[in-house]
């Protein structure tokens, strides 16, 4: 197996080549160890931090920004979005408040205050 991808960990955007299989992988093109970790993770189990807006039901025209507390499996992003799109919260909410304990395997966390 050989895969080419761009590291998105920092703005440098190194062009990575990941080769190997069965748990043994080799990464080239990375300028730092974070790129090696990213290349292997992206090849074996890609994850993403996802953000969205949730309606605040007791404030007119107000949305609360939320995100995954930890990255979730990339294949679960649409399921996560369907789940989050159906949510409503009540103000006040503080940044860092856990809105859901388990949204596709990760906490759903508020990223700003709504008074
Ligand atoms: S390999 Fe390191 S330097 Fe290159 S883009 Fe990734 S994090 Fe940045």
Binding site membership of 63 for ligand 1 (Cβ less than 6 Å) = no
Protein residue with its CA nearest to atom 6 in ligand 1: 35
pLDDT of res. 51: 97
Residue 38 has pLDDT above 90, yes or no: yes
pLDDT of res. 41: 93
Start-to-end Cα distance in the chain: 52
Predicted TM-score (pTM) of this structure: 0.80
**29, 15 contact by CB (below 8 A):** yes
Domains of the chain, CATH where assigned? 2-44 (no CATH), 51-110 (3.10.530.10)
Determine the distance separating the centroid of ligand 1 and the alpha carbon of 38, expressed in angstroms: 9
Beta strands in 9-76 (DSSP E): 15-21, 24-28, 47-48, 51-56, 63-68, 72-73
**60-97 pLDDT tens trace:** 999 999 999 999 999 999 999 999 999 999 999 999 99
Determine the distance separating the centroid of ligand 1 and the alpha carbon of 21, expressed in angstroms: 22
pLDDT of res. 22: 84
Protein residue with its CA nearest to atom 3 in ligand 1: 31
């Amino acid at each position: 197996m050989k895969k080419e991808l761009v590291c998105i960990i920092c703005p440098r955007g190194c062009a990575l080549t990941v080769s190997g299989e069965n748990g043994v992988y080799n990464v080239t093109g990375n300028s730092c160890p974070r790129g090696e970790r990213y290349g292997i993770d992206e090849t074996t189990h890609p994850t993403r931090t996802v953000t969205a807006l949730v309606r605040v039901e007791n404030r007119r025209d107000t949305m609360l920004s939320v995100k995954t507390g930890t990255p979730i499996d990339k294949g679960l992003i649409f399921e996560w979005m369907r789940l989050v799109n159906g949510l409503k919260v009540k103000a006040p909410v503080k940044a860092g408040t856990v809105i859901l304990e388990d949204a596709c395997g990760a906490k759903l966390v508020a990223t700003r205050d709504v008074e």
